Copies of this chain bind each other. A is one copy, B any other.
Amino acid sequence: MNEKFFDLKKEKQDRMINGAMKVFALNGFARASTDEMVKEAGVSKGLWFHYFDNKIGLYTFVVDYAIKYVNMEMSAGFSAESNDFFDTTLAIEKVKMSVRRSYPYVPLFLTSLDKETNEEALEAVGEYIALYRERIRSIYEQVDRSEFAPFVDERIFDMTVAFTMKGILEEEYAKETFDERSYMGRVKVFLNQMKEMSKVQ
């Protein structure tokens, strides 16, 4: 990419980033249309390719940017009241929602990365994603699971939570407009039930 991108007015940068994320998130790499991004961002087609060599370059940039931003917000705003599993999970979701206020499609975009099947895209972006996953993993490493019943296998449990929350997120984004309250409500109800089910009784 062309580093001069960052000399643009912040507002224009963000319009471009949001346009790209939205279209990538909703369509995946291969089906994402540059024309649609152009319309979404209100910027000329030529400009995209002035700053980003090609579609894959843009994709790489946007993935990187999204992850960096989430990491930043985590470092800054992350504050699980405790290191309880559920508090932690909820805190991560709160971070996502806060990111969403600046970059509305980051949560869906990150989630969409799992679905990506285009080999070129995966090649270019695999490492970034691994880093992000590692970050999340490391947070969970420090989580206190002492209240979990002995029959609860950590990996299965985490997988269950991850897949389900991803499902809820996608369903909420599939609605006309994303409703943060509705989303967080469903997440809390879900986590509560998982808490009840997992604890020693």
| A residues with CB within 8 A of B | 26-28, 30-31, 114-115, 117, 149, 151-153, 156-157, 159-160, 162-164, 166-168, 170, 174, 189-190, 193-194, 196-198, 201
Q: Would B197 and A152 count as touching, CB distance under 8 A?
A: yes
A174 CB contacts on chain B under 8 angstroms: 117
Complex Cα gap A152–B162 (Å): 19
The minimal Cβ–Cβ distance linking A154 to chain B, given in whole angstroms, is 10
Closest B residue to A198 by beta carbon equals: B197
Complex Cα gap A87–B87 (Å): 33
Q: Would B164 and A160 count as touching, CB distance under 8 A?
A: yes
A27 CB contacts on chain B under 8 angstroms: 30-31, 117
Q: Would A153 and B193 count as touching, CB distance under 8 A?
A: yes
Complex Cα gap A197–B201 (Å): 10
Complex Cα gap A27–B28 (Å): 9
Checking B156, B166, B190, B197 against A151 with a beta-carbon cut-off of 8 angstroms, the contacting residue is: B197
Closest B residue to A156 by beta carbon equals: B193
Q: Would A197 and B164 count as touching, CB distance under 8 A?
A: no
Known: A197-B197, A198-B197, A201-B201. A189 touches B153 (CB 8 A): yes
